[in-house]
Amino acid sequence: MSSVKMTSLLFLCVIIGACSLFEPFIDRRRDAGQTDMTKLYVGRSTPDAPAVCSNGLWTSQEKIQSLADTECVKHGTGTHAVKTDVTHFTCKLLLPTHTYFKCEQ
């Protein structure tokens, strides 16, 4: 395969993969072997306090709020999320902002 084709293929893969790099997400990690539910979540996000990783350049505050609200409803810990804190450069490189919420009824 020629270097031009290889470079084009690599560029196409990067462009396709980059679309998902900017989507905000709930920062939740679990300890898969844990049976005690109080120690199951080891990430910054818990069912009653979601933490969203995002980038303010590409993501609106409404989208971040919607993600947190959905997380509260999904786990039955509240009907909406209230923002409690924001930290910068504590998440991924392209999504550097953590926005912390607390679920309320």
Q: Do the domain assignments include residue 12?
A: no
Q: Do the domain assignments include residue 39?
A: yes
* Alpha-carbon torsion (24, 83, 73, 31), positive or negative: positive
Task: State the 10-residue block means of pLDDT for the chain, 105 residues long.
Answer: 80 63 82 73 81 91 94 90 94 90 93
Domain tally, the chain: 1
Using alpha carbons only, give the angle 59, 72, 69 rounded to the nearest 5 degrees: 35
What are the φ/ψ torsions at residue 100 (nearest 5 degrees)?
A: -100, 140
Residue 103: the pLDDT is 94
Q: Do the domain assignments include residue 71?
A: yes
Q: Do the domain assignments include residue 15?
A: no
Integer Cα distance of 26 and 63 in angstroms: 12
Residue 13: the pLDDT is 64
* Rg of the chain over all Cα atoms, to the nearest angstrom: 17
Q: Do the domain assignments include residue 45?
A: yes
Closest CA to 22 of 72, 81, 64: 64
Domain region containing 94: 23-104
Q: Do the domain assignments include residue 2?
A: no
Q: Which amino acid is at 101?
A: F
Residue 100: the pLDDT is 95
Closest CA to 102 of 44, 61, 56: 44
Closest CA to 94 of 56, 51, 44: 56
